[in-house]
Amino acid sequence: MLEKDREVPVHVAVLIAELFDEAELLVPYYRLLEAGHEAVLVGARVEEYRGKHGYPKWAEQAAADVDPAGFDGAVVPGGFSPEYLRRDPHIVALVQHLVAAGRPVAAICHGPWLLVTAGVLQGRRVTSYPSLRPEIEYAGATWVDEQVVVDGPLITSRTPADLPAFLQALMRALEP
């Protein structure tokens, strides 16, 4: 059966905030849509956000208005957006709910900043952009320099160059 022919599509929150990394947001977003999944851009508010290089994209739903139980997973792009995402308690709660439910949360580059704030890294093995290593270790995780790391529901990668491996791991995690 083709992924797009599934009876019930997978519903994935792609988190968006100001200064997102365009590749790390758009490539997973369109890959999810291509696979027949429902990818929803979720931000602190329904408004236009601009990427690091000025590309505009609208959030389709506000985090305060979504039911975390309605999502099968989430993608946390990098750039500077995780610094804004982690300030919103509804976005933090969404990530906490998904991890507690064992649903995949895929964070790339600076995306694990949000995982630190959500308090979901204790005892985990993760990767990220190297400058986040101290915060990740202070949060109780083991940081490794690998293309992609899967530890329970968490999928992490380092940079846009890791997107192929990151997306393969995400798509495997979303399989029924």
- Shortest CA distance to 128 belongs to which of 142, 50, 140, 118? 142
Residue with tokens 């994935």: 12
Angle, to 10 degrees, between the axis of helix 163-173 and the axis of helix 22-34? 40
- Structure confidence at residue 9 (pLDDT): 81
CA 50, CA 164: separation in Å to the nearest integer? 24
Question: Which amino acid appears at position 99 of this protein?
Answer: V
- Model pTM score: 0.94
Helix (H) / strand (E) containing 97:
helix 89-100
- Which residues are known catalytic residues? 110
- Could you give the C-alpha distances from 68 to 72, 95, 148, in angstroms and in order? 9, 8, 25
Torsion of CA 66, 38, 95, 45, to 10 degrees: -50
Give the C-alpha separation, 143 to 149, whole Å. Answer: 10
- List the chain residues with pLDDT less than 50: 1-6
CATH number of 10-173: 3.40.50.880
* 145-149 contacts, C-beta under 8 A, 24 or more apart: 149/125
What does the block give as tokens for 123?
Answer: 């005892």
